[in-house]
Structure 1
Amino acid sequence: MEDWKRIVEPYSRPFFFALSRTTRGKTLGVRGLVLDKDQRVLLIEHTYLEGWWLPGGGVDAAETAHEAVARELREEAGVNPVELPKLISVHSNEQFFPGDHVLLFRVDEWEPVEMKAQGEIKNVGFFALDKLPDNINGGSLRRIQEALMGFPPDPIW
């Protein structure tokens, strides 16, 4: 049972943000929009957050954004990009984490690898655009709609 992580997350968030700010300065995150051969989109469910999300995370020191999204995809979803991920859009994550931005990358060509997440991922799945989970994260849903359904881009995550 991993529900305790969702209960603790709101209380631990300020400490995580403070640590991130001191080790990263202005923070930058990445998310990957990965499609399978049937044009279904990859989503993950964390053990510590509600809902389904596009996989991703923070860019570490001395790491490029491309390296970060590839690392996060391998760790969280067992997906290794075969080609350089393509930058689709940049979004402010100011409402959730002041000073943070998120880059969205698209990955069409990939190979499966062993997932390396250590207790942070509850579920991984591919979903048809007309069958996305009801509890998909709002920012993830908007990015999918913008990138794949022709919705106008929003600079806010």
Structure 2
Amino acid sequence: MNWRVRIEPYSRPLFFAFSRASRGMTLGVRAVAVDAGGRVMLVRHTYLAGWWLPGGGVDRGETIGDAAARELFEETGLRATAPGRLVSVHSNERFFRGDHVLVYRFDAFEVGELTHRGEIAEIGWFAPDALPDDAHRSTRARLAEMFAGAPVDPLW
């Protein structure tokens, strides 16, 4: 197991404490890139177990849609060639008080150069109905909402 995955349970509370002290509310995005074959791009981080939708925090002065496109590019190398479409909004109170996550879908993109610096261990395309066994619960839930008609859960 990667050392970053092992220390994550200990470093996350420190990150959350800093975030809470510096911001009253946090806002994050996740990007669902869908290729011509209907597959979705997922990432495995170097510091978290399992497969996730690409995403991260919204920077000060940045629009939410721009943040989703930026995170998609930074984590996968996919550069959006058209704006993403807002799919859903979720409260992440269960995990982090005051946090909200917005999910954007991208159907138009081109492959660019990967720019992440040690954050992403692996990327991959997967059919929404054939996800890896260790796909994170939230990834499975968002894709079921988008592709299998599951009701949108307002909680992350």
TM-score, normalization by structure 2: 0.96
Query: 1:21 & 1:37 partners in 2: Cα distance?
Result: 40
Query: Corresponding residue for 1:71?
Result: 70
Unaligned runs of 5+ in 1: none
Query: 1:111 & 1:49 partners in 2: Cα distance?
Result: 27
Query: 2:22 & 2:67 partners in 1: Cα distance?
Result: 16
Query: Corresponding residue for 2:142?
Result: 143
**Displacement of 1:129:** 2.2
Letter aligned with residue 117 of structure 1:
H
Letter aligned with residue 11 of structure 1:
Y
Unaligned runs of 5+ in 2: none
For the residue of structure 2 that corresponds to 1:129, the secondary structure is coil
Aligned residue pairs: how many? 156
Letter aligned with residue 50 of structure 1:
A
Query: Corresponding residue for 1:86?
Result: 85
For the residue of structure 1 that corresponds to 2:72, the secondary structure is helix
Query: 2:105 & 2:150 partners in 1: Cα distance?
Result: 16
**Displacement of 1:24:** 3.5
After superposition, the CA RMSD in angstroms is 1.1
Query: 1:25 & 1:43 partners in 2: Cα distance?
Result: 30
**Displacement of 1:39:** 0.5
Q: Verify: 1:111 aligned to 2:133, yes or no.
A: no
**Displacement of 1:32:** 0.4
Q: Give structure 1 regions of 4+ aligned residues with deviation exceeding 4 angstroms.
A: none
Query: 2:11 & 2:129 partners in 1: Cα distance?
Result: 35
Query: 1:25 & 1:12 partners in 2: Cα distance?
Result: 20
Query: 1:148 & 1:37 partners in 2: Cα distance?
Result: 14
Give the 5 Å matches for 1:1-157: 3-157=2-156
Letter aligned with residue 23 of structure 1:
S
Letter aligned with residue 54 of structure 1:
L
Query: 1:18 & 1:68 partners in 2: Cα distance?
Result: 23
**Displacement of 1:128:** 1.2
Query: 1:98 & 1:24 partners in 2: Cα distance?
Result: 11
Query: 1:108 & 1:74 partners in 2: Cα distance?
Result: 13
Query: 1:23 & 1:112 partners in 2: Cα distance?
Result: 35
